[in-house]
Structure 1
Amino acid sequence: MSESTTTRRRLREPAPDLTSSQKLMVFVLSMTLFGLANIVTEVLPEITVGPVELSVSYLAFVPVLMVSLFHPLYAALGAPLGEIVFVDLLMGNFSGIGEVEGYLQMALGLYVAGSLVRDPRKRWQVASAAMIAVLIDKGVGGIVDFTKVWVGVEDAEYVDGLPESILMLEGIAFTTDFVISGVLFGAIPAAYLAPRLYGKIEPLMGMAPRDPARRTPGLARSSAAFIALAVLLMFASAVFAFMEAADMAYGSWEPDFLDQYGLSFLWVSVAVCAIVLIGIVITARIVAQERRDEVGRQR
C-alpha cells in the first residue's frame, strides 16, 4: 500500500475524542491563561498619536495558541470567559448581560480560527488563525457599534481632529485593533511559539498532540448549518449589545475596585489565576496517572 493511500485513509479517520475531564481541563486552562493575559493588558500604557489612541485590546496570541494546540471548541469557549471572571468580575467592572456580546464574538472568532489550523507547526496557519480570530471578533463588534449609532440607541463618541463620520471612526478603531492585537500581539508571537510548544505541553495534560493527518472531531466546517449558526450567534451578540445600550444592564456589578485600591488590586486576580493553574496541573497529573494505570492493567 502506497504512503499517499495510507495518508488519505488516516485523514478519513477521526482522531480519538477527548474525555470529559480533558475537555474540562482545556476549558479551564484556556480561561485561566487568557484571564491572566488580560490582567497584563490592564497595566500596559496607551499611546496617543494625534487624535487617535493606540492600546492593546488583548493579547490575542494566548487564546490562539490554545485553540491551535488543543481542541478549538473547548478552548474557544473558555478563553473569553477568563476575561469576564478574572478581570471584569474580580476587578468590579462587570456589565452583566452586556458581557454576552463580547463573549459570543470572541468565542466564534477563536473557534473558526482554531478549526482552520491543521498543523500547529506550520507558522502561516497559526499566524492566519490569529488574524482571522481578531478579524471576526473586532469586525462583528464594529458592525454592531455602527448599527447602535445608526439606529439611535447610542451616541457616537467623536474624536477631535477627525471628521464626524461613524464609518471612519469604526474603520480606524478596527484597523488599529487588527494591527496591534491581530498582528503585533497575535500573529507574530503565536507563529513563533506554536511550533516550539507543540508536543511539549499536551502530554502534561495527558493528551496527544493534534495529528495533522487525522480529522479532529467537532471542528467548524463551511456547511450551511454552521454558517447559519454563526449568523445566529452574531445576531444574538447584537441583541445583547442593544439591550446594554438601552440601559437594560441586568446583573451588572461595578464597584470598581481598581479605583478604590489602585493597580495593586490586580494581584488578587493573579493569585486566583495561580491557584486555578496549580489545580489544573495537579488534576492533569492525576488523570494522566490513572490512564497509565488503566493501560498497565489492560496489558
Structure 2
Amino acid sequence: MENSLVKNQNEQSKTVMLFILAMSLSGLENLVAEILPELKVGPLEIGISSFIFIPIVLCILFDNFWVALAAPIGEIVFADLLLGEFGGLGEFEEVIILTMGLFLAGKMVKDIKDRKQLMWAALIGFGFQEFAGTLIDIGKVWVGVEALEAVPGLPESIVIIEGVDFLIEFIVTGIIFGLIPTLYFIPKFYGKIEPLLGIKPRVFDNSKSAIPPALIFGAVISAILGTVISFMAEMGITIIEWEGEFLDKFGDNFIWVPIAVAALVVVSIFIFGRNKSAVSKEI
C-alpha cells in the first residue's frame, strides 16, 4: 500500500514537471516567433506563427494529455499575460482546439521508426487547429457579412483570402517549422531527453491500429466547442479581459523579460529532474 502511494506521488510529480516544461517551452517558442519579422504581401502576412514542432515532439515522446494542454496554456502565460495581455473568452478557442490537435498527434504514433506515422502526426498536430481556426474565422465573417447585407461577392473573397492564408501558414509553420523538424528530432531525442527528466522513455507498441473512434468523436466535439466559444466572444460575451500594455509602457525590449523567465523555468526543470533521478538511483 505504501509503495503504491509513493509510486502514485512520483507519477503525479513527473506529470507536473512535464506540464511545466511543456508550458515554458511553448511559451518560449511563441515569444521567439513573435520577435521574428514578417513579410507582408497585400492583405497576406508571411511569417512564423510558432515553432510548432516543439509541442508536437513533446506530445509524441510523452503521449500525455497534460503535455498537449500545456502548449496553449504556455502561450497564454508567457506570450500574453507576462506581456500584459489577456483576450478573455476568445483565448479558450485555441486552448481547446490546439490541445486536441496535439493530443491526436501523440496518439497517432505507434511506431517511432515509422516515418509515415510521424509525418501524419506532425501534419495533423498543426493542421487540425489551423483548419478549424480558418473555418471558424470564415464562419464569423460570413455571418457578419450576411447580417450587414454587404456587397455581393464579399463573402467569397473572404473565403479565398482565408484559404490562401491557411495554405501559406500550413507550408511555413506546419511543414517547414513543423513536419521537417519533427522527423529530424524525434529519432534524435527519443531515449535521450527522458533520462534528463528522470522519466522512462515511452514504450511504443509498433502496431498499425487506427485512431480510436472515441478520439475522433472528441476531436469533433472540441471543434464544435471551440466554434461556440469563438462566436460567443465575437458577440461580446466574455470573461475577464486584461490589458497591462507592458510593451507600450516599457518598450519593445520588455519582451525579453518573459523570454528570460521561460528559459529559466526550462533550465530549472531539467536540473530538478536530473537531481531527482540521481536521488532515486541512490535509494
Q: Larger deviation: 226-235 or 263-272?
A: 226-235
Give, in angstroms, the shift of residue 190 of structure 1: 1.5
What is the number of residues matched between the two proteins? Answer: 270
Unaligned runs of 5+ in 1: 1-15, 157-161, 295-299
Percent identical residues: 41
Give the aligned partner of residue 165 of structure 2. Answer: 173
Cα offsets for 1:230-287 (capped at 9, x unmatched): 2222121112111211122321112222233232111110221133223312331343
Counterpart Cα distance in 2 of 1:220 and 1:64: 19
Give the aligned partner of residue 3 of structure 2. Answer: none
Cα offsets for 1:199-234 (capped at 9, x unmatched): 11100111122222378xxx99422x3333222221
Superposition CA RMSD, Å: 2.7
Give the aligned partner of residue 283 of structure 1. Answer: 272
Q: Larger deviation: 59-68 or 225-234?
A: 225-234
1:222 equivalent in alignment to 2:212: yes
1:33 equivalent in alignment to 2:25: yes
Counterpart Cα distance in 1 of 2:205 and 2:181: 25
Counterpart Cα distance in 1 of 2:36 and 2:119: 23
Give the aligned partner of residue 72 of structure 2. Answer: 80
Of the three residues 234, 239, 245, the one matched with 2:223 is: 234
Cα offsets for 1:41-62 (capped at 9, x unmatched): 1111111234422121211111
| Greater percentage in helix | 2
* Structure 1 residues 95-114: aligned runs within 5 Å: 95-114=87-106
Q: 1:189 to 1:261 in 2, by over 3 A?
A: same
Give, in angstroms, the shift of residue 147 of structure 1: 1.6
When normalised by structure 1's length, the TM-score is 0.82
Of the three residues 148, 152, 175, the one matched with 1:183 is: 175
Runs of 4+ in structure 1 deviating by more than 4 angstroms, as ranges, are 153-156
1:204 equivalent in alignment to 2:196: yes
Q: 1:131 to 1:214 in 2, by over 3 A?
A: closer
Counterpart Cα distance in 2 of 1:280 and 1:119: 28
Counterpart Cα distance in 2 of 1:47 and 1:120: 36
Cα offsets for 1:136-195 (capped at 9, x unmatched): 001111111122122229999xxxxx9962221221121111111100110111111121
Give the aligned partner of residue 61 of structure 2. Answer: 69
Paired letter, 2:246: F
Q: 1:220 to 1:115 in 2, by over 3 A?
A: farther
The 8 Å contact of residues 153 and 245 in structure 1, kept in 2 or not, is answered as no
Unaligned runs of 5+ in 2: 1-6, 149-153
